[in-house]
Amino acid sequence: MPRSSLRPAALAIAGLASLSLVACGLQLQEAEQTLPQGTAFEKALYDGYIELARAEYENGDYRASDAFARRALRSAKGESVLPESLSLRELEKGEASNQLAQTRLRLIAAFESGASQRTPKKAARAQTLFDCWMEEQEENRQPEDIAACRDALQSLVAELESDSTRLAEDKAREAEEKAREDARLAAASGELFEGQDLPAPMKTEGPTALGTYIVFFELNRTRLTEETKGILQEVVRLAKDAPAMKIRATGHADSVGNPKINRKLAKKRAETVTRYLIDAGVEAERVVVDSHGDADPLIPTGDDVPEVQNRRVEIRFEPIPEADKVPVASLQVR
């Protein structure tokens, strides 16, 4: 065939090749026009992959540019994009591929320890550097570029691992400090005396012949023991036989903790007692709730001293005032 007849065919082939190269670069344009979504890590990955895609495009490697642009698009959509698998690259077996495999494992371990949440930009930079190293190592033509990606990555991975170690040490130290503080507070608040037997409920002399009943409570609790309920039944019987009497339940706490909290705790203990009396048949309008908190101990102690006998409710019978025959106060049952 004459040379003149070959020329148009050659031009056509060259034109098709040119169009193919242009088409190969369209992924970058699409990725650049995409608004990244997702987490800070995914947005940082998008930025990193766009940077790689642009660099490859400017160097005329449209295939690599498209590959990085596609990873940028996936990151922009909030998809999970992991460091590239070695199986996707044609890598020569040897020290370099072994280093890549080991570094990928370290990078994944850093991500699993929370690096992508703690330092998203640093973690994303490490991942894109890994993929950069993979790309350059597969081509294996520019040792300087391979070293640049590899060395920067190794430095970042070491930082991520150091961050993870430091965080673990901080958490361990905080846990140790908390355990020491809990032990100190436990000793101060009487937590270690949780298993201490409660004193038996008792009856003492009071302002009236019916006397005063005292019941005791466990540390930081308001529950009634079976023994306490037994003596409260006696209070119920007396109350029914003495309709002219009101019943005042005064709550108390020991000196451990905040006085305001102790007043609330003491009141809740008194309310627990009065609710039991009301449920057992005592008229609610005859019941009065009071609280002295830690201000009136049965056994005087210093501050922050656990004393079971001070965690109590005193139940007294008092005459109902003659005026209007109404109680001085009443319990609001919720």
303 to 253, 254, 258, 307: CA distances (angstroms)? 12, 9, 10, 11
Query: What is the predicted pLDDT for the residue at 103?
Result: 96
Q: pLDDT under 70 in the chain at which residues?
A: 1-25, 183-196, 322-334
Query: What is the predicted pLDDT for the residue at 257?
Result: 87
DSSP single-letter state for residue 207: S
What is the second-level CATH architecture of the domain 202-325? 2-Layer Sandwich (3.30)
Query: What is the predicted pLDDT for the residue at 177?
Result: 85
Q: Are 276 and 318 in contact (CB under 8 A)?
A: no
Chain centre to alpha carbon of residue 212: 48
The three-state secondary structure class of 102 is helix
Between strands 312-319 and 212-216, the pairing is antiparallel
143 to 48, 90, 96, 133, 148: CA distances (angstroms)? 21, 17, 12, 11, 9
Cα separation, 200 vs 31, in Å, equals: 78
167 to 102, 164, 179: CA distances (angstroms)? 23, 5, 18
Indicate yes or no: pTM above 0.75. Answer: no
Q: How many CB atoms lie within 10 A of CB 208?
A: 13
Per the structure block, which two tokens stand in for 186? 């436990």
Q: How many CB atoms lie within 10 A of CB 293?
A: 20
Query: What is the predicted pLDDT for the residue at 75?
Result: 95
Query: What is the predicted pLDDT for the residue at 321?
Result: 80
Q: What is the DSSP string of 128-174?
A: HHHHHHHHHHHH---HHHHHHHHHHHHHHHHHHHHHHHHHHHHHHHH
Query: What is the predicted pLDDT for the residue at 244?
Result: 92
Contacts of 40 (CB under 8 A, 6+ apart): 120, 121
Q: What is the DSSP string of 27-93?
A: HHHHHHTSPP-S-HHHHHHHHHHHHHHHHHHHTT-HHHHHHHHHHHHHHHTT---PSPPGGGS---S
Cα separation, 152 vs 159, in Å, equals: 11
Phi, psi of 153 (to 5 degrees): -65, -50
Domain with CATH 3.30.1330.60 in the chain: 202-325
